[in-house]
Amino acid sequence: MLYGWICADNVTPAGSGNPPSPILHLSSSALTFNATQAGSSPSSQSVNVTNTGVGTLNFTASSDSAWLTVTPTSGTAPQSLQISSTVGTLAAGTYTGHITVTSAGAQGSPATVTVTFVVAAPPQPVLSVSPGSLTFNATQGGANPTSQSVNVTNAGTGILNFTASSDSTWLAVTPTSGTAPQSLQITSTVGTLAAGTYTGHVTVTSVGTQGSPATVTVTFVVAAPPQPVLSVSATSLTFNATQGGSNPASQSVNVTNTGTGTLNFTASSDSTWLAATPASGSAPASLQISSTVGTLVAGTYTGHVTVTSSGAQNSPATVTVTFVVASPAPPQPVLSVSPLTLTFNATQGGANPASQTANVTNTGTGTLNFTAGSDSSWLTVTPASGTAPQALQVSATVGTLAAGTYTGHITVTSAGAQGSPGSITVTFTVGLPSTPAAGGFFIRGSARANTSTATTVA
């Protein structure tokens, strides 16, 4: 069967003598930018130039303001224009400029985009420090307490630069300068301090800023020397692995001091396959207990980690470790292909569509070698073989194919793998080309059973 149709919109009838008429159209006639005086320029915005008529529409674009730019300055519709505003040395205020787009001979030309640029006055920073007080506790001659955080923020606007300092030798702050928002680390050092309560201050200063200087009052309570008591969080652990396989993940045992004072300790193992790190430290600490398969044969092994702290109650403490080494199991690869379907589109006698990617993966164990092939002459896959994981490039070739819809398959095979063979179904739709005829008519054909015909209507 034959079909013909007439492009009625914006097409000049045959014999009229008038060429097609382009019509200039802009997607927006007004834009607004916002920025701060002496600050960063705002992000560019887009305006699309299109031809709502027929024929070709070439254009030029220009700006009437030094702070306003447009790129590109010329082109052919459809085209996206990037409109940008630059703060530079502009004072606070509202500015208006125009982007003019001109296309010789086109209806709607010239077209104008009115651009409003609002430049705000510089911001005013306000210093805020939280919390306003801290308390540290430690023991005479013992470990230093954990550092604590103080947040420096700007409760106003603009940029807030600051410096921070301490008025006591046992009190320190880092960093000593920065830009808000910033977290300060406050630390207290026992050193040779006698038992008692100490007070110091951290002062945060920002020149020209409201709320400056701000002070954090720090109280340091140093207690008399205590009596340590050794405690471990677990007295037994079990590891599992496979002969000749990977080592199991390490496990943690926490060493703590449930008494007072400082508890220094050492940790050791009685088995070559068993290790504890660190080998020494101060409580509280986390021991990482690990087991190494190495050349161990299948079986159950028992070892011990001993934690010792001189002068501490409950020392030594022992962690009994059981290591179960299982016989190895053969690897089992599992073939997985993704996606399972692909669709290509092209025009009869036209260019080939872009290739698409399919992934071959092994969701099991071991090594998965594969081959890949196609059941259709228009369908190809590369590489034809490989080892998972691997990306396949699938391509469809138009060649001499008539208009129609074709179905082919990519088959991926892996000997001995579960899920093999895997298949990708490929659909290839080849459309008829559209051909313009004299007198403003376009001819379309009818495609059935992979054949096409076309008739020109005068």
| Alpha carbons 78 and 72: distance in angstroms, whole number | 12
156 contacts 126 by C-beta, under 8 angstroms? yes
In a domain, 441, yes or no: no
Structural domain total, the chain: 4
211 and 320 co-located in one domain: no
What is the model's pLDDT at position 399?
95
Q: Is the pLDDT of residue 91 over 70?
A: yes
Instruction: Give bridge partners of residue 76 from the DSSP assignment.
Output: 58
Beta strands in 233-298 (DSSP E): 236-242, 251-257, 264-269, 274-277, 280-282, 285-291
Average pLDDT of the chain is 90
| Alpha carbons 134 and 139: distance in angstroms, whole number | 17
Report the share of the chain in percent with pLDDT over 70: 90
180 and 245 co-located in one domain: no
| Alpha carbons 111 and 89: distance in angstroms, whole number | 29
CB burial class (10 A; 0-12, 13-18, 19+) of residue 184?
buried
What is the model's pLDDT at position 437?
52
Q: Is the pLDDT of residue 407 over 80?
A: yes
In a domain, 455, yes or no: no
**Residue ranges making up the domain that contains 200:** 127-223
Question: Per-residue confidence at 17, pLDDT binned at 50, 70, 90?
Answer: low
Mean pLDDT for 268-272 is: 97
Q: Is the pLDDT of residue 76 over 60?
A: yes
211-241 tens-digit pLDDT:
999 999 999 999 987 689 999 999 999 999 9
| Alpha carbons 134 and 172: distance in angstroms, whole number | 13
223 contacts 139 by C-beta, under 8 angstroms? yes
| Alpha carbons 217 and 407: distance in angstroms, whole number | 78
In a domain, 436, yes or no: no
In a domain, 439, yes or no: no
237 contacts 271 by C-beta, under 8 angstroms? no
In a domain, 64, yes or no: yes
13 and 115 co-located in one domain: yes
In a domain, 68, yes or no: yes
97 and 62 co-located in one domain: yes
Q: Is the pLDDT of residue 130 over 90?
A: yes
Sequence-separated (6 or more) residues with CB below 8 Å from residue 20: 10, 11, 12, 53, 54, 55
What is the model's pLDDT at position 6?
30
Q: 273 in the Ramachandran plot: left (φ > 0), alpha (ψ -120 to 50) or beta?
A: alpha
305-316 tens-digit pLDDT:
999 999 899 999
Sequence-separated (6 or more) residues with CB below 8 Å from residue 271: 301, 303, 304, 321
314 and 360 co-located in one domain: no
198 and 100 co-located in one domain: no
| Alpha carbons 291 and 271: distance in angstroms, whole number | 10
* φ, ψ (nearest 5 deg) of residue 214: -115, 145
8 and 116 co-located in one domain: yes
What is the model's pLDDT at position 439?
47
What is the model's pLDDT at position 423?
97
What is the model's pLDDT at position 158?
82
In a domain, 185, yes or no: yes
**Where is the domain boundary, 120, 146, 177?**
120
Residue 143 belongs to domain with CATH number: 2.60.40.10
Mean pLDDT for 254-282 is: 95
What is the model's pLDDT at position 18?
63
Sequence-separated (6 or more) residues with CB below 8 Å from residue 357: 391, 392, 393, 394
56 and 87 co-located in one domain: yes
194 and 299 co-located in one domain: no
214 and 134 co-located in one domain: yes
110 and 11 co-located in one domain: yes
What is the model's pLDDT at position 4?
35
What's the predicted TM-score (pTM) here?
A: 0.31
| Alpha carbons 266 and 277: distance in angstroms, whole number | 10
**Where is the domain boundary, 120, 139, 165?**
120
